[in-house]
Amino acid sequence: MENQIMHEQLTINEQDPIIARFYDYEHFTYPWHFHSEFEIIYVGESHGERFVADSMEYFHPGDVILLGSNLPHYMRSNEIFYKGNPGLRVKGVVIQFAHDYMSHAINKYAELTHIKSLLNNAKRGYHFPHPQNQEIIRDIEALPEYKGFQRIIHLLLLLDKMAACKDKRLLGSPHFSENITVSFNNRIEKILSFLNYHYLENISLDNLAFKFSMNTSAFCRYFKQKTGKSYINYIQDLRIGHARKLLVGTTYDISHISIECGFNTICHFNKIFKRKTSLTPSEYRNKFIR
């Protein structure tokens, strides 16, 4: 199946510029997508994989992210959420607001320059880690209860706290945000969408280039130009991210994890893992489970 990025159209307008609601699903359902609005996602319950731009990480209860306008993203619940267990739910709060939200005031007044900087940098996506984000979570959970003018004021207060948070970090690479365009039917978005679904499979570079109507050398040049990473480096980042999850969340032996994450030999897996994390797989596991 061809996995293409979807342009989500939200019902935000001048009369209702902010959406703030609780969600409760069996699992996340939206595919790789983007929208012109800013978005704040708080995960109260659930865990799985989070893709933002060219970043892939694992999300857990308590996670908060801020996404800029037209930033491609999707959340994929862990496979156990797709097995019909009524005791497992995906719960949290989503807040979406217009890309030009209070743009005149934010761009004009010095008192709001920190919020302007936050929203400008959100083109790469921000992660606010738990438990340092407790005050932010309280404000997020309160926002759906406010209406009209009160909702506008409390969103500004929330953004003020997010801007002041010293533990936040950017998700997408700088090169990705520099090369992203408003035309999301372009080739690179289709390539990234495909890789984000199939990164654990044995994908031949020649076959991948052919799939997107390019020769291999042209594909490699194009991919590096658009993402700032080589194709191999991009795939390795996704696979090592998956390996980190398995090392901490399972008792699988390292050779099993190596194979599951698409590495042909454990020697190669150990070498790439240490290059990416500065730790061997054993050291990484021991660090997080002791």
pLDDT along the chain (290 residues), means of 10: 59 77 92 88 94 88 95 91 90 93 83 94 94 96 94 96 96 66 62 86 91 94 86 90 83 94 94 92 81
- C-alpha–C-alpha distance, residues 122 and 81, integer Å: 29
Question: Is 187 part of any domain?
Answer: no
- Residue 167, Ramachandran bin (φ over 0: left; ψ between -120 and 50: alpha; else beta): alpha
Beta carbons of 49 and 83 less than 8 angstroms apart: no
Same domain, 165 and 243: no
Tally the domains of the chain. 2
pLDDT score at 185: 47
For residue 68, what are the CA distances in angstroms to 5, 85, 150, 217, 281?
Answer: 16, 34, 23, 33, 34
pTM above 0.75, yes or no: no
pLDDT for 4 equals 56
What is the predicted pLDDT for the residue at 1? 34
Domain of 203? Answer: 199-289
- Does any domain span residue 48? yes
pLDDT of residue 248: 78
pLDDT for 14 equals 67
Q: Are residues 81 and 141 in the same domain?
A: yes
* Residues 142 and 209 occupy one common structural domain: no
